[in-house]
Each structure stands twice: as C-alpha cells, then as structure tokens.
Structure 1
Amino acid sequence: MSGLKICVYAICKNEEAFVDKWMDSMKEADLIVVTDTGSEDDTVEKLKERGAVVYVDVVKPWRFDVARNISLDHVPEDVDICVCTDLDERFDPGWRSRLEEAWLNHKPRNKGAIVKTGRYLYNWSLKEDGTPDIQFYYFKVHERKDFRWKCPVHEFVQYFGSLPLETVYIDGMVLNHYPDPTKSRGSYLPLLELAVKEAPGDERMRYYLGREYMYKGKWQESINTLKEYLLLPNAKWCDERCAAMRWIARSYYRLGNIKEAYQWYFKAIAEVPGMRDPYVEFAKICYEQSDWPMVYYLTLEALKVKEKSRTFVNMGYSWDYTPDDLCAIAAYRLGLFHESLEHAKAALHFAPNHERLKSNLKLIQAVQKE
C-alpha cells in the first residue's frame, strides 16, 4: 500500500438496484461515504449492510452542487484523495493501484507545494457488446481541502485555494457508466436556465443550456443560445466552441436550412481540424443529401485523425465502422470502386457480423469483377 488514504464519495436516491455492483467496484477505496438525498426504497439499508458510511440529507430545492458539497463535507479531513462517483458507475478492477501510481509519480511543473486533481477515462455509454461508445476524460478525483462543487447541474469541482493546481492523467483508471433508463433528465433544463440566470457570463452553463435545448428539439432556442455562448469573452476553449458550432449546424439542419448547416459544420472543422466528430457528423448529413463528393472528402479527412481527444468528448460513431462505411458508399457512388472496396473491408473489420456491411462488400466485389 502507498500510505495514501482514498475515499469514494457519492450522492444517491432510490438506487438499491445499483448498490451491490457499485460497492463491489468501489471496495478498493479505504472508505466509502454516501449521502442519500431521500430514498424511498432500501438504498440506505443496503449500502450500510455493504459497509458504506451513509448520511441522509434531503436537498430542497434540488441542486446537484449543493448535494455534492454536502457529500464532500462528510468526507473526513484526513483523506488524501477524494474520488466522486455515482451509483450507476463502475471502475474497471485495479483502479486504485493505477491512481496511486499516477499520483505518486507525478512530476510537478511548479516548484514547492502543489495541489493535484485527476483525470481518467470515462465511458459515458457502452455498446451492446460492452465496448466503449461515447468517451471522454473525467475530472472527479481531487485532494480533500479547498475544493467545492459549482453549478446547479452539470456541476464541476473547483479549486479555490492558493497553491498551484496541477492535473494528473491516470492511465488505466477507467470508469464505466451503466445508466438507469427509467430516470428522467426532466430537471436538467430548468436547472440550466437557473444556472444561466444566476451567472449570465458563465460560458460553460450557457453552452450546456444550448445543448440541452437541442436535445429537447428546441432548435431555434439552441441556435440562439449557442450563438450567445460563442460571443462570450471567456468562450475560448476551442473544443467546446467546435461542439457549439456542431450543435448549431445540427439544429439548422433539423429546421431544414441546409445552407446554414453546411456553413456551421465548416466553421466547426476550422475551429478544431484535428477532431473527427465534425467531419463525421457533416458527412452523415451530406449522405442524407446524396452529396457524394462531400461525403467522400469528409470521411477521408476524418480518417486522417488517428488519436482520440484527451480533452473533450469522443463520439462512438466517429471511431467505429461509420467513417469507412460512409466513405465506401460515397466512393461507390462516384465510381471509385477500388477505394470503395478498401473502405468496405475496413468497415467490416470493425463489425464483422453486421449484415448490411457484409451485403455492401459483396455488392462492391461483384462490381469489381465485371
């Protein structure tokens, strides 16, 4: 053991179905502290039976930041590393040793005392076969002192101390999300509207609000809000700006404004040329428009990007068979049968049991023989 005291802390409500698997995953920690916010099932009893320290604190009106700060307050002061998770999340086994290794071997950029926070791979969604779909690097590992959670929803932990803050990338520490499909996102939109009202200059909350409008099919509200986001002085993070432009493009497309959709996808690509997602999403709408030259060009450009982002969300469809599949179809339509065949084979390599991909490959091979 490293001598580091590690505590997992969480909030929950009515999650008895997740308790056992979550506790099995988190048991590598020295201490597990859970704040229940008003369960009406056996969540509290099951957690206690499994060895968690449980507090009950009802939060009204509901805000995620308030609940998480209450939960953090229950973590003992002598803890070295805090790991915040939810009960529908599970680590791959061996996560503690990966965390300790990265934490202890971190080489500070600053002289003297520092404070550390950790980033690790998060599989927000998984495919049916258990392989990752949507991935990004998560941020819920931090030291015990001088951290507080901020924002009513899409909350994040913020350091407010005086020492230099450094990020530790924890290779091999992987958290997987197994969401409850019965749980509603209904509280997200009003909480995001509240967050923007509380802090109109907060670019992060305005971005999330615009994205939530898109999720709800409120296309014009999404466009307006995300354009406001792009004009904010602190909206400087290229990855997030690129995403905002992608959501604007998608919203215009849903409104039937193809010209604006194309323009905003071009802007998104220009913002972050080294990210696959804008190319692939643009290619997908071009496919629907039978714009084969654009599909072919965009998918080839996407496939030039060989590494996933370590700073933003990676969409699963940008890294599975989709780019090669679209490229194969576009090349076939353009009479580029050799190129079509190569990309059809590459697509099938990702999904060897996919019936449509197998049929496409046979069709292309038949044309090649003529």
Structure 2
Amino acid sequence: MQSDRKSSFRTALAPALPWPQPAEAFLAMLGGAAGIGACALMVWGMHEYGSLPLFLMAPLGASAVLVFAVPNSPLAQPWSAILGNTLSAVCGVVAVGLLPTETAPVLAVALAFAAMMLGRALHPPGGAVALLIGLSPNLLTEVGAVMVVVNTAVMTSVLVASGLVFHRYSGRKYPFRTSLSQSGPPPMRRLGLTEDNLSSVLSKFHQSTNLGAVDLARLVAAVEAELIQPPFEGVSCADAVSPDDTTVLPETDFHTLVGKLEQSGKPVVAVVGTDGRLAGLVDQRDLLHQLTGTTQDVPCPPAGRLARDIMRAPVTSFDGSLPLGDALHVMVRDNLDHVPVSQDGTFLGFLTRSLLLEALVWPVADRKVA
C-alpha cells in the first residue's frame, strides 16, 4: 500500500506532456521569436516614426507560448488572446483606481477572471496583465490609463497577426476550425457525432477550455481510422460482397417473389433488369403490405402484381469502388443491414453486417491470398 502511494505521488508530479518532436519544438521557438520580434519592431517603429508610446509587456511572452506552441487551444485563439488581454488591462486600471496599492492586485486579477470568462475570452496571460498593472500604479501615472489599455490591445494584436502569418507556413492551423460542416472530418469518417455532442462531452469532463469541439472531432476521426481502416486497407465494397443469385426480373410475379425470399432466407431481394442493372428492391414488408392492403376484409395474394409494381428504390447504395471502411461507417451510422452494391451500373450483390464482421475477423485480402 505504501509503495502504491509513493508511485501515485511520483506519477502526479511527473511531466504531463510527452517528449516534444524536434520539429515542433523548433517551430514553437522560431514562432515565439518571430512574434515577440514583431512586437519589438512595432515599438521601435512607433518611437522613431509614430506617435503612440508603445512598450513591451512581460505577459506578451506568455501569450506567445499559447499562440506559437499550442495554436489549436481555445485559449490561444485571436478572440481569446486580444479580448482577454484587453479586458484584463481594463480590470487592472479599474482596480488601481478603486483600491490602495496593497489590495489593488487582488481585485485586478479577480475582475480579470470574471471579465474574460463572461466575454468567452479566457486567456491565461490576461491574469498576468491585470496583476502587472495592479502592481505598477506608477505606470498609469507615466503613460495614462487609456494608453495602458491601448498598448495592451495593440501589442496583443501584433502578436496574433504574427501568429496568423507564421502558422500559414508552419503547417499548424491558426485560428483553429470552428465549424464541423465546413472543415470537420468527412461525414463518412464520423459515426454521427455532431458539434453539440462533442461540446457536451467536453463540458462533462471540464475540458471546454482545453480543447475545441472541432479538434475533438479530428481526434475521434483519427482513432476511428486507426482502429477500423487497417483491416480494410485497400479493400473495396466489390471485394467484400458475395455474388448474389437471388435476384428477380421486373416481370417476376408475386408468387415467385415470395418463393425467392423464402429460398434466400434474406429479408430483401434485388430486382435486376436483363442488362444487369439494379431496378429496385422488394423486402418482406413490401409483400406484407400488398397482402394486407388489397381488400378490407379478407387478405388475398395480389396475383396480378409484378415485381416492378412492388419494388422501391434503395435508400442507400454503394459503388463497388467505395472503400470498405467508409461503407462500415455509413452502415453503422444509418443502422443499415443490407445495402446493394453496383459496379459500373451492374448489380454485384448486397453488403451486409455479417459480411463486414467477417471482414473484421478475417480481412478480405487475407481470404483472397488463402
């Protein structure tokens, strides 16, 4: 028991982050230097040629860490960074104006927390901005309260603008995507998860400030691809379906249709023309509807009805070239049991859940080799 406690204690104090990739560390270092360099250049330009007495602030270094090291974090986004720091500067100025030097820093930080959260602009360096102003009442005397706020807004904006330019060429996405419909994983690679579903999960585990719904969707899609795609790598729907000889022609009569369904043991039969193209589907429900809907009192077989009169178009169908992994996602998402598969217009057969399970246990490529 003592050993377990020591192990838990060591684990709790161990680094929470994995070892960084050298390229990631280099990009973060280069981006931080570029961002602070741009701010310093802006200060120099204003001193030499402008009229605004801008100056660098220590919290900009913390903002640079977020913008250039973790650009996908909700805390690092332009809205959070610019508005968070600016609101915090306002809170710092208000606190210094209301309270004596000894207690102003406390109120400054407290107000900054509230303002950033209400403004949906939580940005950790904002707390440092408020504390810096609360600890430096002389700063307000030297440059003025308005200029302190303006300087914070301008300097943070320059830093964020640097991040926008830098990440355009770094391979990182900044700002991160905010719409699943516009830039989330392709629909076939998502098992019906909406942005509301993902946001709810993040809120449940108190992770809304650490990760955005769109980035969680990307992670879920990557996990799905990692678990599902490898067994189906290079395998299409045409490779998985079994040749289906339980088809009927559009001219097939009602009694023959019933016999075909009984013979196949399947709930659905394909209506295929003489050219091999899928014309429609007939399932058990369609036949029952014909039986019970012909007369009001005594049901009787509608002997005069042909397959073309009863069939309906398939809700979903797959092309034979569709990757089997994508077909799995659609069938699970839409709760489908049988989906017709055609290649160049020719009906090949049905892709069923049992065939997909078989492919997971014994990949199609392995069966072909065997």
The verdict on a shared fold, with TM-score over 0.5 as the criterion, is no
TM-score, normalization by structure 2: 0.26
Structure number having the greater helix percentage: 2
More relative contact order in 1 or in 2 (CA 8 Å, sep 6+)? 2
Question: Highest Rg: 1 or 2?
Answer: 2
TM-score, normalization by structure 1: 0.26
Structure number having the greater strand percentage: 1
